[in-house]
Structure 1
Amino acid sequence: MKFSLKNNFKHFQFFYKYLGWRIVAALGLSLGVGVLDGLGLALFIPLIQLVVRKDGEALAEDSDAVSNFILNTLEINPTLLNIFFLIFLFFSLKGIMKFFESYTRTILMQIFMRKIRFETLELLNNYSYDQFVKADAGKIQNTLSSEVNKLNMANRFYFKAIQFFVLILVYFALALGSDWKFTILVISGGLIVNQAFKFLYARTKYFSRQLVAKSHIFHKLLMQKVSLYKYLKATGLLSTYSSKLKNNINEMEFVQRKLGMVDAALGSIREPISILVIFGAIFFYVQLFDEVVGGILLSLLLLYRAITFFMAAQEQWNMFLGVSGSIENIQEFTQDLSRNKEVAGNLEFPGLKENIVFRNLSFTYEEKNLVLKHFQLAIKKNETLAIVGPSGSGKSTLINLLTGILKPTSGEILIDGYNISDFKPNSYRKKIGYIVQDPVIFSDSIFNNVTFWAEKSDYNLKRFYTAIEKAAILDFVDSLPGKENSILGNNGINVSGGQKQRLSIARELYKDVDLLLLDEATSSLDSETEAEIHMKLDKLKGAYTMLIIAHRISTIKGADRIIMLQNGKIEATGKYSELIDSSASFRRMLSLQEL
């Protein structure tokens, strides 16, 4: 088996990062199991001698160094009953230690998987949004699901191989104590044979990396098929798109067959090779040292045990290499998440007290083409501000900057005089209600969708009903047989678009927010439903600081102020009636919508 110090120490470091000293404790138990097993086996030599000796014949004192050492150290008379009792004792202790070893391995596997999953989830929480939108969604999905599960297999195979390796060392050590010459011959044969496996191990690792890459592509294609199912179904493109998935599946199967072929080759040659090593060692032992075979009985027994575990260790090691690509993938993934961690301040956000100021702010998604250019704006607490403008004028970018998920290229955003980057992101964002064009609905009950799985206490129920009343959906919820416990289905399939949007608004109002951001929240609704929702939102004026990106200008007549964005700059600002008089662009946009 190929135990390259550099490569295997790298793998050991990876597992040690999550398990620490527990690995040493587990290996100590494996060592104990091997020692007790070897000592028990050694005592079979005097046991056999006692059974086959002639009456009155004494037990040979130099028949076996290991068993003699045990008997002399424990000062036990070598009778049949005493030796049988010792064998039973050693194997009973081995069974107890084996139990603790197996149970410890299960606990360590749980600890390892929990720490891996918690770490990746926390790193993803703090991942920079501008990096997230550039990332491969299929890779993220595959890494957090399939690849993390493969790490569980990698952990099991790796430490099984290490456990067997510890047992091999114990058996070799005991065999050296019994007959060092024969043991050296077997070890030499094993090292020579091991060179034949290097090529197969290298192929296994190569195909493992390929399989990880193919799996990333599969998950990306699958996610897109599910999210775009309606479009693909309606346009008759499902079969065409499915052929891409099928091709990818065929490619994964090809790689898996290659992995299976390598594993089958290893499995088929292990036992014949182990027999060759044993008999080769016996042949050279007799020829070189002119010894009789009977004198190496214990060594032969221990070495056969060692070679059996050697073959098993090779099998575990090859299976580990088959999933080792997942270790490289998770390391690359966590490094990327850590490297692109969101920069966070250390101040708790106390809530909006006075105003929000955009000071000389510019932003670009690339090195050129500024989306916002030296943008200047002040928003008072509890003001309702509407933002209009053509596509690409910077409306949604402005909202994303205000939430903090995008960072200004230059300039700053001040909240009551503090730079937005000074605050802890979550403490600030928890005070933001964010409602987008496509409502965010979870496949769960209405109560859990609105409260985000809050405990169903009397206090939270009261807050829930207050929120759905403000969002004008109380009557609908009360009309349902299950009321607040009614299940909305996947992406809210059981309710209409208007009802989904009202539930989204109710969720943000339940949160007790300071800022309410609506990014074309009603643009996908029919005019009547959109007017109803905006009428309800008008009643919230003065209670929240609201920024509304409007699709239809007629729906934001009641805003305290409207700004007209053009090419990343404010072209005009004022109330609805003022812009009608002062802004030709505003009038043109309004007239186009009235056609």
Structure 2
Amino acid sequence: MIKSKLKEFVKTYFKQVAFFYSYLRARFLYVILISFFVSLFDALSLSVFIPLFEIATDASSSKKSSLTNYLQDALNYVNLPISVNSVLVIMLVFFFTKAVFRYADVYYRAYANAYFIKKLRIKFVNLISSLEYNEFIKIDLGKIQNSITTEVVNINSAYTHYISVVQNSIFIIVYIVMSFLSNTKFTLIVIVGAVVSKVFFGKIYSNSKILSFTIAQKNSNLSSLLMQFTNNFKYLKSTATVGNYSLKLKDTVSDIENQQLKLNKIAARVLSTREPIVISFLAIAIYIQVNVFNGTLSAVLPSLMFFYRAFNSFMNVQLSWTAYLKYAGSVKLVEDFETDLRTCVEKISGKQYTGFNDSLEFKEVSFHYKNGVNVVEDFSFKFKKNSTIAIVGKSGSGKTTISNLVTGLLKPSKGVITIDGTNIFDYNLNSYREKIGLISQETVVFNDTLYNNITFWAEKNAENLKRFNLVLAKVGLNDFLDKSSDQEDIMLGDHGVVMSGGQRQRLSIARELFKQTEILILDEATSALDSHTERLIQENIDSIKGSMTIIIIAHRLSTIKKADSILLLKDGKIEASGTFDELCVKSEMFASMVALQEI
């Protein structure tokens, strides 16, 4: 109960601590602990100077400061004489100890920073990798890119400045405690002044936080706009609409810079006014000490020394807090985005999938998106193992939705999909998907080597190289390999720019052969190819027919003539099924499609 209440208190009043601690755990506390020891030994090192001066000048006991008396009591307790030599030794011990902790502080903060940004990025990669496909397609891709790149860097900056605030706050507390031990009344007066100044700056900081969050949101929007700009550049340039879109980008950039200027204006106001305000409070405190309490300036000298150091730390706190607020919006933005992602994480559980013996079966399966009509309706069919099934139909008939249902990317709204009688969602979906291959119209080629693209970064040993060369020969890519001096290490470039469309499709087939898939889905795999290249790819597909279950989603009917069975879809339902020749006879719709394509 106490622990939960403490957690709630921290989350309510120390949200930043709760956020950073959630990633760093004990490391966050170690940074604070080391900072405390740095400040403690720094204060102790300073505190020895006044006793050293008073002992060296042989000041009378009535004129000795409280710090000197404390030091004398401490030395008497350990039976050591108070002298210049003993005080010098103590001072050196304090300074060298402080140096050790200062080294630990700098090193450990750098370590914690690196760990923090690594943990943050890995966490986002894991969350995005675990998203349900149905939810992923709704997310703004610019927001994902912005969060993992720009915003993560901003959050790391926020953490750096926040830790600086914490560390300097610890310094202030330690210096004030030492000042309090030296002169209680003077310290209390200055503390009252510090509280008043905190209230004064509080309102300014709240405005900074709002502006920072607005800037973070606008940066995320800009990232999204830029991604759309580059993805659709060909269309924008070809249709002379690039100027219109550029204006939209420029307006967004200008808006961000205007907000940033407002934030910098606030920072300038804080920077220019805080020193005069703090010095004014210090001057008032000295005036009250001397004129109201009839004290002497020498009586407040130790406190002034500590307050000088506290003032420097206070200045650093203000600077760091102002800097932190510039990035506070990124913290809020990423927190909200992380919360949204967590609600969309796909639940991966169940028994391990090892393969099937008989069939993959759809039993009265229907699917619709939220608040939408059925895309697939009462679909029932048995995909026999190692058979080749083609699915055809007009756009919007549900062809691609069925392939997404096969892979478990979508879950039926009604009905069930089974493998050898077991619901596919009773299996661990990752273990099931490991046995699935997918080749689409837009081939997946990474900006990496040919070997890594086919083997998915498998270890380059003799066994894997042998398999790699076998699948390359099977799909006819060995000529491409032989022409390169880099052999399997040839870099393919962005989207496989060094390869032709046909070669990229062959690479896709080689990848699935290397992977040893059980179910291969070809989703309009040859629709963007010329007739000659399409025929070569079709020969590759025919060569693996019977070795795995092949599901072909096709618009070009010439690619499915040799399929064991063809399903003709209309409005998400099976309009007709059979072999190519059978459908030509019994389905007017199919016969019309064949005639239109002049097959």
- With the length of structure 1 as denominator, give the TM-score of the two structures: 0.96
Q: Is 1:321 aligned to 2:322, yes or no?
A: no
Aligned-pair CA distance for 1:524: 0.6
* Change beyond 3 A, Cα 1:30–1:374: same
Partners in 2 of 1:272 and 1:6 — Cα distance?
Answer: 35
Aligned-pair CA distance for 1:8: 4.6
Partners in 1 of 2:225 and 2:435 — Cα distance?
Answer: 36
Give the corresponding residue for 1:571.
575
Measured against aligned partners, the alpha-carbon deviations of 1:362-408 in whole angstroms (never above 9, x if no partner) come to: 00123231111111010100000001100000000000111111111
Partners in 2 of 1:428 and 1:382 — Cα distance?
Answer: 17
Q: Output the amino acid matched with 1:370.
A: N
Give unmatched runs, 5+ long, in structure 1.
none
Structure 2 SS opposite 1:112: helix
Measured against aligned partners, the alpha-carbon deviations of 1:229-259 in whole angstroms (never above 9, x if no partner) come to: 3333333443433332222221111111112
* Change beyond 3 A, Cα 1:463–1:230: farther
Q: Is 1:480 aligned to 2:480, yes or no?
A: no
- Could you tell me whether the CA contact under 8 Å between 1:447 and 1:453 is conserved in 2? yes
Give the corresponding residue for 1:549.
553
Aligned-pair CA distance for 1:322: 1.4
Measured against aligned partners, the alpha-carbon deviations of 1:335-358 in whole angstroms (never above 9, x if no partner) come to: 111111113232111012210010
Q: Is 1:424 aligned to 2:428, yes or no?
A: yes
Measured against aligned partners, the alpha-carbon deviations of 1:3-38 in whole angstroms (never above 9, x if no partner) come to: x97755111111121222332222222111112111
* Change beyond 3 A, Cα 1:174–1:513: same
* Change beyond 3 A, Cα 1:234–1:484: farther
Give the corresponding residue for 2:49.
44
Q: Is 1:16 aligned to 2:21, yes or no?
A: yes
Aligned-pair CA distance for 1:519: 0.3
- Which residue of the other structure, out of 286, 289, 294, is the alignment partner of 2:293? 289
- Which residue of the other structure, out of 345, 349, 354, is the alignment partner of 1:345? 349
Q: Output the amino acid matched with 1:565.
A: L
Partners in 2 of 1:276 and 1:539 — Cα distance?
Answer: 88
Q: Is 1:503 aligned to 2:504, yes or no?
A: no
Give the corresponding residue for 1:186.
190
Give the corresponding residue for 2:443.
439
Give the corresponding residue for 2:6.
none
- Could you tell me whether the CA contact under 8 Å between 2:388 and 2:564 is conserved in 1? yes
- Which residue of the other structure, out of 97, 103, 116, is the alignment partner of 1:112? 116
Structure 1 SS opposite 2:442: coil
Partners in 2 of 1:182 and 1:439 — Cα distance?
Answer: 75
Give the corresponding residue for 1:530.
534
- Could you tell me whether the CA contact under 8 Å between 1:344 and 1:422 is conserved in 2? no
Please say which of residues 101-110 and 580-589 is displaced more in the overlay: 101-110
Give the corresponding residue for 2:244.
240
- Could you tell me whether the CA contact under 8 Å between 1:386 and 1:563 is conserved in 2? yes
* Change beyond 3 A, Cα 1:39–1:67: farther
Give the corresponding residue for 1:26.
31
Aligned-pair CA distance for 1:483: 2.6
Aligned-pair CA distance for 1:58: 4.9
Measured against aligned partners, the alpha-carbon deviations of 1:405-427 in whole angstroms (never above 9, x if no partner) come to: 11111111101111111111211
Q: Output the amino acid matched with 2:17.
A: F
Partners in 2 of 1:327 and 1:67 — Cα distance?
Answer: 47
- Could you tell me whether the CA contact under 8 Å between 1:19 and 1:112 is conserved in 2? yes
Q: Output the amino acid matched with 2:392.
A: V
Give the corresponding residue for 2:363.
359
Partners in 1 of 2:328 and 2:515 — Cα distance?
Answer: 44
* Change beyond 3 A, Cα 1:77–1:154: same
Measured against aligned partners, the alpha-carbon deviations of 1:428-484 in whole angstroms (never above 9, x if no partner) come to: 111111000011111122111111122221111111112222222222222233332
Structure 2 SS opposite 1:319: helix
Give the corresponding residue for 1:68.
69
Deviating above 6 A after TM superposition, structure 1's stretches of 4 or more consecutive aligned residues are none
- Could you tell me whether the CA contact under 8 Å between 1:46 and 1:59 is conserved in 2? no
- Could you tell me whether the CA contact under 8 Å between 1:61 and 1:68 is conserved in 2? no
* Change beyond 3 A, Cα 1:5–1:285: farther
Partners in 2 of 1:339 and 1:5 — Cα distance?
Answer: 24
Q: Is 1:174 aligned to 2:175, yes or no?
A: no
- Percent sequence identity is 40
Partners in 1 of 2:598 and 2:244 — Cα distance?
Answer: 40
- Could you tell me whether the CA contact under 8 Å between 1:278 and 1:304 is conserved in 2? no
Partners in 1 of 2:583 and 2:400 — Cα distance?
Answer: 21
Measured against aligned partners, the alpha-carbon deviations of 1:32-55 in whole angstroms (never above 9, x if no partner) come to: 11121112211111222244x3xx
* Change beyond 3 A, Cα 1:50–1:470: same
Please say which of residues 73-82 and 436-445 is displaced more in the overlay: 73-82
Give the corresponding residue for 1:94.
98
* Change beyond 3 A, Cα 1:399–1:321: same
Measured against aligned partners, the alpha-carbon deviations of 1:67-118 in whole angstroms (never above 9, x if no partner) come to: 3212321334332233222222211111111111221212222222222222
Give the corresponding residue for 1:148.
152
Partners in 1 of 2:484 and 2:69 — Cα distance?
Answer: 84
Please say which of residues 479-488 and 583-592 is displaced more in the overlay: 479-488
Measured against aligned partners, the alpha-carbon deviations of 1:531-561 in whole angstroms (never above 9, x if no partner) come to: 2211220111100100001121122110011
- Which residue of the other structure, out of 405, 428, 447, is the alignment partner of 1:401? 405
- Could you tell me whether the CA contact under 8 Å between 2:377 and 2:572 is conserved in 1? yes
Give the corresponding residue for 1:590.
594
Partners in 2 of 1:389 and 1:550 — Cα distance?
Answer: 8
* Change beyond 3 A, Cα 1:411–1:439: same
Give the corresponding residue for 2:519.
515
Q: Output the amino acid matched with 1:11.
A: Q
Give the corresponding residue for 1:389.
393
Q: Output the amino acid matched with 1:89.
A: V
Structure 2 SS opposite 1:113: helix
Q: Output the amino acid matched with 2:536.
A: E
* Change beyond 3 A, Cα 1:487–1:145: same
- Could you tell me whether the CA contact under 8 Å between 2:75 and 2:82 is conserved in 1? no
Q: Output the amino acid matched with 1:267.
A: L
Q: Is 1:560 aligned to 2:561, yes or no?
A: no
Aligned-pair CA distance for 1:306: 1.0
Partners in 2 of 1:71 and 1:585 — Cα distance?
Answer: 105
- Could you tell me whether the CA contact under 8 Å between 1:345 and 1:423 is conserved in 2? yes
Measured against aligned partners, the alpha-carbon deviations of 1:289-344 in whole angstroms (never above 9, x if no partner) come to: 11111111101111121122112111111211211112212211121111111132
Partners in 1 of 2:461 and 2:478 — Cα distance?
Answer: 19
Please say which of residues 550-559 and 482-491 is displaced more in the overlay: 482-491
Partners in 1 of 2:11 and 2:434 — Cα distance?
Answer: 47
- Which residue of the other structure, out of 266, 282, 307, is the alignment partner of 2:270? 266
Structure 1 SS opposite 2:332: helix
Q: Is 1:465 aligned to 2:481, yes or no?
A: no
Paired positions, count: 588
Aligned-pair CA distance for 1:227: 2.2
Structure 2 SS opposite 1:456: coil
Q: Output the amino acid matched with 2:42.
A: D
Aligned-pair CA distance for 1:198: 1.2
Give the corresponding residue for 2:4.
none
